[in-house]
Amino acid sequence: MERRGTPTVTEMQVIPVAGYDSMLMTLSGAHAPFFTRNLVILKDSAGHTGIGEIHGGDYTCESLRACIPLVEGSPIGAYRRVLQSIHRAAKRAAEDDGEGIQTLDISKLKFVVKAEWAIECAMLDLLGQYLELPMCELLGEGKQRDQVETLGYLFYVSDKKRADLPYIDEQSSGDSWFRLRRQEMLTAERMVEQACTLHEKYGFRNFKLKGGVLEGEKEMETVCALKKHFPTGRINIDPNGAWSLREAIDLCKPMEGVLTYIEDPCGPEAGFSSREIMAEFKNAVNLPVATNMIATNWRQFYHSVAQKSVDIVLADPHFWGFEGSVRMAQVLNDWGLTWGSHSNNHFDITLTAFAHVAAAAPGRPTALDTHWIWQDGQNLLKDAPEIKDGFLQVPDKPGMGVTIDMVKVEEANRLYNRLPSHDRNDAEAMQYLIPGWKYDSKKPALVR
Residues catalogued as catalytic: 210, 342
> Count of CB atoms within 10 A of residue 396's CB?
13
Burial of 5 per CB tally in 10 Å (0-12, 13-18, 19+):
exposed
**Bridging pattern class, strands 235-238 and 207-210:** parallel
> Count of CB atoms within 10 A of residue 227's CB?
19
> Count of CB atoms within 10 A of residue 133's CB?
17
Task: Return d(Cα 294, Cα 308) in angstroms, integer.
Answer: 12
245-276 core/surface letters (b: 16 or more CB in 10 A; e: else): bebbbebbeebeebbbbbbbbbbbbeeebbbb
Three-class SS state of 68: helix
- Of 65, 57, 73, residue with least CA distance to 123: 73
Residues 6+ apart with CB under 8 A from 170: 178, 179, 181, 182
**Bridging pattern class, strands 9-20 and 235-238:** unpaired
**Bridging pattern class, strands 312-314 and 338-340:** parallel
